[in-house]
A and B are shown apart, each in its own frame.
Chain A
């Protein structure tokens, strides 16, 4: 069925200059497996290392140590191995305003990966694939969207183009780094539901990186909680959210606003102040 596995991943960054050098261990011994047709969520606060995991998995960064295995085979750092790897593993970035080139049309954004990865040859075949990709991300009528440039579209539409572009090489695994946090709230769900549909119908494996615990729970099969570069808790989504074990997970959960608990903070503070006065 296909798996993307991370074993004992470590990523360090060098800091400072001259004699005052130090190393920052952004990812510290992280292991997990992403299966086709499943979604794994990686949650944690800013600086916890979740984006570094994403970038390393997409091989935008080279791991300091540890292994990445695609379908059980270790991925080497050679140029040809990486190109092959990127047929299968693609990334969707947080900011759809920055990740698309303002000079090019949607069609161009999709044609390039199709050609570079040898998915389609010849003008008609490529155009056919572009139409198919746009349909898969619900950007129809496809002719109209293919001709647009990024500034003519909303954030949600741009993110759909980014997803289509990631699918273009024939990706079986998507690494989605905060794919909806820059979007207006009322269109976030549409994009997440699109990812869920692709995962379901096309057997896509998705690594969903987010700080939003509620969508992490509803959107993924498994949740990994990262803190200071390490995975401190993991398990089936409902279990991690409804029955957290690690203190950090509990802190995160207590801090997350929840519409079902309206008035909670106000009442807590009032009770606290009343307690202090007494």
Chain B
């Protein structure tokens, strides 16, 4: 699976405010056909801005200042997304690359039914499609994501959070896209519900072969579902590798720091200092022991420039 479906080269995005914020800095990335690429990073690191840049969804004051994004179509043609305009851009979006938005809980239209919303996608992008066929497709989409087609006549508020999210995924699937960008699709959900939805995404990926850019700050989740993971910090990708390598052999200090932030459920406690006695003995899988004194990444010098808003915040507190 090393056929590229989306290539980003030297992408830089700025927010033209005063002062100018360079949200994405010279990011290059290749998304392979059918892979799940995790994009990890904390609030403000530019991951959502980058994703919007990939789909030309940036709104002023955000501006793509340099770089190119090329989509490699299944049929063989290359499309320069940055050069698309008007009708061509409209036709491209959702058909080739669709998106599941952050806070999808609130992205459904509250005043029309689920059926009307799916229908809207189909009438826009498949104008010749007969009504009966559209109805059949809408029902099929809900079945695909594990929602009873009877729910087609429901409104968003009549659905649970998990169901709303599934409907959003059904809509993203509607045109059989080659790339789906998912921005924190499960963050607001319960772990059990989240699990069900991730499982559904993985199954659909195996069935339909679309590639996924999965954006979240939840690194353990990414490690479980991704083929490769890109770690983003202050607008740059500081590390990009297979999930296994990211976990077993993280290269960048920030990646190690993120890993440390999530103690393992069944294993070691990572950078966590529980008590005086236990702290001395509890090693960590990601660096030297984090027992007495500050942890491995605790010094202010280990803190990436610009994030060091406070020693208190960035220091993994040791036993005093």
Contact = CB atoms under 8 A, between A and B. Distances in A.
A241 B263 CA distance: 13
A268 B225 CA distance: 10
Contact of B319 (A197, A242, A256): A197
Given A45-B192, A219-B272, A259 B206 contact: no
B195 to A, nearest CB: 4
B199 interface: yes
Contacts of B195: 254-255, 265
Contacts of B223: 257, 259, 262-263
B317 A194 contact: yes
Given A196-B275, A259-B247, A190 B190 contact: no
A251 B192 contact: yes
Interface in A208-257: 211, 213-215, 217-219, 241-242, 251-257
A258 B264 contact: yes
A160 B311 CA distance: 13
B43 interface: yes
B224 A252 contact: no
Interface of A: 45-46, 137-140, 153-154, 156-157, 160, 184-190, 192-194, 196-197, 200-201, 211, 213-215, 217-219, 241-242, 251-266, 268-270, 272-273
Nearest to B189: A46
Interface string B250-271: 0000000111111111110111
A100 to B, nearest CB: 15
B194 interface: yes
B265 A192 contact: no
B277 to A, nearest CB: 10
Interface string B32-68: 0000100000110000000000000000000000000
Interface in B261-320: 261-267, 269-276, 285, 307, 309-310, 312-320
Residue of B207, B221, B273 with highest tally of chain A CB at under 10 A: B273
A197 B273 contact: yes
Contacts of B266: 241-242, 258, 260
B217 interface: yes
A265 B260 contact: no
Interface residues of B, number: 58
B225 A265 contact: yes
A186 B258 contact: yes
11 contacts: A45-B190, A185-B219, A186-B257, A189-B271, A190-B312, A193-B317, A219-B274, A258-B267, A260-B266, A263-B223, A268-B199
A177 to B, nearest CB: 16
B198 interface: yes
Nearest to B269: A218
Contact of B313 (A156, A197, A252, A263): A156
Given A194-B317, A218-B269, A259 B202 contact: no
Contact of B320 (A188, A201, A269): A201
B243 interface: yes
A192 B276 CA distance: 15
B202 A265 contact: yes
B218 interface: yes
A258 B314 contact: no
Nearest to B304: A186
B244 interface: yes
Query: What are the 3 closest A-B residue pairs judged by CB atoms, nearest first?
Result: A262-B223, A193-B317, A257-B220
Given A193-B316, A252-B191, A262 B260 contact: no
Contacts of B157: none
Contacts of A253: 265
Contacts of A139: 310, 312
A130 B218 CA distance: 36
B203 interface: yes
Residue of A139, A197, A272 with highest tally of chain B CB at under 10 A: A197
A138 B312 contact: yes
A266 to B, nearest CB: 6
Given A252-B192, A266-B224, A269-B203, A154 B265 contact: no
Contact of A256 (B191, B244, B247, B274): B191
Contact of A214 (B257, B263, B313): B263
Contacts of B198: 265
A218 B153 CA distance: 46
A218 B276 contact: no
A137 B15 CA distance: 36
A263 B224 CA distance: 4
Contacts of A157: 309-310, 312-313
A263 B218 contact: no
Contact of B218 (A192, A241, A257): A257
A185 B316 CA distance: 12
B265 A217 contact: yes
A215 B316 CA distance: 15
A193 B297 CA distance: 14
A260 B267 contact: yes
B224 A190 contact: no
B278 to A, nearest CB: 9
